[in-house]
Amino acid sequence: MLLEGFSDHFILIPLFMSLTPQLGTVLFLHFVYVIFMALASLKCITRLHSYTKNLSNLSAINNIYHCQEGDIFRDKYSDFCNIHRNFYSKACRASRNKNRLAVVKESINSQRAVRQYCSKTENYLLSSCPTIFVDFLKSKKINRCFFVWSESENKVVASHPELKEIEDWLNDSKNPHYLQHEAIFLAVGMRTNCLLGAFLWKVDRGQACGGIRMTPFTSVEHYLGEGLRLSRRLGVKSALAGLWVSGGKGLILEPKDRQHIQPEFRQKIFYDYGDFLSSLNGCYIAGMDTGVNAFDLFNIHTHTRWVVSGPEDIGGSGNAAAILGKGLLCAMEAALNFLGAGDLSGMKVAIQGAGGIGLAVASGLLDRHAAHVYVTDTSKKSIGDLHDALASKARGRLKVEKVSIGDNAIVGYDCDIFAPCAVGHVLTPETILNIKAKIVCGSANALLASENDTSLLVERDVTYVPEFIPNRMAFVNAANENYGRIYRDPAIERHFDKNWEHSIYYLTQETLKRASEKNITVIEAAYQMADVYIQQKHPLWPDRTKNIIKSLVEGQWHHGQDFWRKRRNFAKSDCT
C-alpha cells in the first residue's frame, strides 16, 4: 500500500537502464530521494519503524495506512506521488530521445518541488493530526502554550511565535468557533505525551467550569473547534441557570492504540491532567464528561483541588442522573403547557437511551400517569435493567427494545414527545423529516447536527426545547459542590420551581414564547436571554478569573514557571 503510487516506476527502471544505465541510475536515485523527503517531512520515519519492526507479512501495512494519522498521511503522500509522476512523464519523454541532460534537469526541478513542498508542511498545524501536533510541540520544546485575548491589542495572542498559524485562525472574523473566548491553555502530558486542553469562554460570572472530555480528534482544528464550541455552550447553560461560574471545557486527546484502557496508563493520563489544572491556579474547574468516570476524577483530585463531580465518598457530587431526569420532566411539562396540551398524563413518550437518565425519565413519566413509554438502547443489559426496575409499576404501559448501534428509527416513532437521552447529533435534515412527535425534549448534548437545522423543526411544526436548558442539573450539581451538601438542597430544588426566573420550567416557557413572538429560532431566543446574564459580573469576585489569566501570562506559565513552586516542571520527579 505504501508503495502503490510508485510501483510503476520500479517496472520502468530496467527500461531506462537498457537505454542508458546512467539515466536509469538518476531516476532510481531520484525515486529514493523523493520517498525519503516525503517520510522526513511527515516526521514519521520513527513511527513507521516502530509499527513495522514486528510485522510478519505485508498485509499489515494496510492496517498501518489506516491508523489514526492515516487521513493526514494519505493526503500528503498523494501530493508526493503527483510530484514524482510529473517527473516520470517528462523524464520518460527525454529518455526516449536519449537526452541525458534533459533527464538530469527534470530530476533537479522535481527535487526542488519536493523541497518547496516540504518547507510548507509545517505550516499546516490546523489540518494535522493532534498526535503530529504534539510531536511538533515537543520538537520546538514547547510543553505549555496558550492563546489569550489581549484587551490592549484587541486580538488573540499566542504564547509562542511558532503557533502564529493558530493565532491567525482564531483572529479570523470568519472563524465560526471563536466567539469572544477568554483563553485556551494547552499542555503536553509529562507522563503520557497526551494533548491536554482547557478552554475558557467569557469569565465575567466567575471561574470557568466544565467537564473533561476524552475522545479521538481528527485534526488540531477539530480539537480546538470542539473545545471552543463546548465551552461557549456551557457558558450559556451556566448563565441561564443563574450560576456564578463561567463556561469552560477540558479536552484530552484519546491516546492511540487504546492505551487509555490500560489501568496504569489511564491513571497517568489523569495525574497529568491534575498537574495541568494545578498549574492554572483555579481559573478553570474541571468536572466529568464523555470518556471520563468518577474514578478518573478521583485520580485528578490526588494532584489538584480544582476538580468536582468526584465520588460521593470523598465529598463529590456523584452521579446526577436522578436530578437530570427530573429537570427533563420539568421541561416537558413546560412545553406542553406552552402548547396548551395539558400535562404528562395520558401522553405517549419515546425515550432514546436506557441509562441512568433514561431510567429516571421513564420512572417519572409512569409516576405522572403517562399512557405509553417506549425506550430503546443499544445495550441489552441497560434495557433489561430498566425493564426489571419499572415493570411492577408500568402495568403494560412500558415497551423496551434493544437496537443496533446507529439505529435512529425511534425518531419516527408515533408519540407525543421524543426524548433523546443517549447520543448527540440525532436531529439531522434526514431524521427531522421522520419526526412524528409534537415535542422534542432530550438531555443528550448537541442534539442538532447543526444549529441551522432548527428552522427545519419549525417548518415541521415540531416544538424543540434546547437541551442545554433541561440538562443543566449535572452542571448545577457540580458547580455548587464547593458550597457543601444538604439533603434536598434548596439551591438544587429551586431549579424545578415554576416561578424562579432561572428555573427550567420558567426558562423553557420564556424561550418558546420569545421565539414565537420575535419569529426567531428557539436557539436564538435562548442565546439572547443568556447574553443579558453573561454580562453580569460576579458579585464578590469581579474580574478575579481574568486576573488569574493575566498573572499566568505575565508569570511565564508557558515557560514552565509556577510562582508557588521553586522548581520548574513540578511533576517531573514522579513521571517515571
Query: Mean pLDDT, to the nearest integer, of 165-178?
Result: 92
Does 522 score more than 60 pLDDT?
yes
For 149, phi then psi, to 5°, come to -70, 125
Does 402 score more than 90 pLDDT?
yes
pLDDT band at 563 (very low <50, low <70, confident <90, very high): confident
Output the pLDDT for position 36.
Answer: 53
Query: Mean pLDDT, to the nearest integer, of 497-519?
Result: 96
Total length of the chain: 576
Output the pLDDT for position 446.
Answer: 86
8 A C-beta contact, residue 156 and residue 182: no
In angstroms, the CA 60 to CA 268 distance is 30
Q: List pLDDT tens digits, range 230-250.
A: 999 999 999 999 999 999 999
Does 213 score more than 70 pLDDT?
yes
8 A C-beta contact, residue 392 and residue 357: no
Output the pLDDT for position 256.
Answer: 84
pLDDT band at 314 (very low <50, low <70, confident <90, very high): confident
Which runs of consecutive H residues, i.e. helices, occur in 417-539? 429-432, 454-459, 473-479, 490-493, 504-518, 522-534
Query: Mean pLDDT, to the nearest integer, of 294-303?
Result: 93
pTM: 0.76
pLDDT band at 567 (very low <50, low <70, confident <90, very high): very low
Output the pLDDT for position 38.
Answer: 52
- Looking at 57-66, 146-155, 244-253, which range is the least confident one? 57-66
Q: Look at 185 and 94; give whichever has higher pLDDT.
A: 185
Instruction: Report the alpha-carbon angle 571-310-505, nearest 5.
Output: 135
Output the pLDDT for position 126.
Answer: 94
Q: List pLDDT tens digits, range 408-421.
A: 999 999 999 999 99
Strand duo 195-200 + 417-420: pairing? unpaired
Output the pLDDT for position 37.
Answer: 52
pLDDT band at 71 (very low <50, low <70, confident <90, very high): very low
- Looking at 230-239, 309-318, 485-494, which range is the least confident one? 309-318
In angstroms, the CA 421 to CA 373 distance is 14
Output the pLDDT for position 33.
Answer: 54
pLDDT band at 540 (very low <50, low <70, confident <90, very high): very high
Straight-line distance from the first to the last Cα atom of the chain, in angstroms, rounded to the nearest whole number = 38
Does 253 score more than 50 pLDDT?
yes
Does 104 score more than 80 pLDDT?
no
Output the pLDDT for position 180.
Answer: 86
pLDDT band at 82 (very low <50, low <70, confident <90, very high): low
In angstroms, the CA 167 to CA 169 distance is 5
Which runs of consecutive H residues, i.e. helices, occur in 315-403? 321-339, 356-367, 380-394
pLDDT band at 83 (very low <50, low <70, confident <90, very high): low
pLDDT band at 576 (very low <50, low <70, confident <90, very high): very low
Output the pLDDT for position 94.
Answer: 59
Does 141 score more than 90 pLDDT?
yes
Beta strand spans in 339-454 (E): 348-352, 372-377, 398-402, 417-420, 439-440
Q: What value does the mean pLDDT of the chain take?
A: 84
Q: List pLDDT tens digits, range 11-24.
A: 444 444 444 455 55
Query: Mean pLDDT, to the nearest integer, of 283-311?
Result: 92
Q: Look at 414 and 103; give whichever has higher pLDDT.
A: 414
Output the pLDDT for position 57.
Answer: 33
pLDDT band at 169 (very low <50, low <70, confident <90, very high): very high
Q: List pLDDT tens digits, range 359-372.
A: 999 999 999 999 99
Strand partners, 214: 252
